[in-house]
Amino acid sequence: MAGLSKEMEKALNDQINAELYSAYLYLSMATYCEDQRLKGFANWMVNQSMEEMIHAKKFFDYIIERGGRVKLAEVKAPPTEWSSAKEVFEQALKHEEYITSRINDLAALADRENDRATLNMLQWFIDEQVEEEASVQDVLDKFELLADHPGGMYILDNDLMGRSAPSQASPGE
């Protein structure tokens, strides 16, 4: 099997940066939630950050496995302030939709290049993005359900405390 094209190698390296930014963003969101004394929200975001680091590592490993060179780039600073916990999750959903579009662009590039190995690897990320968006949307839906309930934020914060650390399963497992 031939190695990665230069264009694909660059695109995958760019995705590593996007995944690292995602981890950084979610960690920043966790600090905001901690400042708001919403430990369950913070827990959810810390676990999301850890998951994004796993995603970055999967791209890292794949580039190396295909004989490419990983080139890490500067990760830009994420925002640090939001108006509410709900806005945090609204921004998280927008970010996940952005990441989905990036993954779809990578899949389109792999298809154009007839790079079936990369296309196959990306299928795991395509499926993962469906799950990512649904997970954030689920929290936003709960905001709506609990909006008129006096203890709604307490209930939701308690619910989000139950999210555990992500597993490190490889694509295809």
Rounded percentage of the chain residues whose pLDDT exceeds 90:
86
* 1 half-sphere exposure, CB direction, 13 A CA radius: 11
Residues 2-37 pLDDT 10s: 799 999 999 999 999 999 999 999 999 999 999 999
Residue 79 lies in a domain: yes
Structural domain count of the chain: 1
Q: How confident is the model at residue 169 (pLDDT cuts 50, 70, 90)?
A: low
Residue range of the domain that includes 98? 6-160
Residue 167 lies in a domain: no
The pLDDT of residue 170 is above 50: no
Rounded percentage of the chain residues whose pLDDT exceeds 70:
95
Residue 148 lies in a domain: yes
At 75, is the secondary structure helix, strand, or coil? Answer: coil
CATH number of domain containing 81:
1.20.1260.10
Q: How many helices (H) and strands (E) does the chain have?
A: 5, 0
Say what the pLDDT of residue 148 is: 83
> In this structure, what token pair is assigned to residue 169?
């399963």
Alpha-carbon span 8 to 121, nearest angstrom: 13
Residue 1 lies in a domain: no
Report field, pTM of the whole predicted structure over 0.85:
yes
Residues 81-119 pLDDT 10s: 999 999 999 999 999 999 999 999 999 999 999 999 999
Say what the pLDDT of residue 171 is: 44
Alpha-carbon span 173 to 158, nearest angstrom: 31
Q: How confident is the model at residue 166 (pLDDT cuts 50, 70, 90)?
A: confident
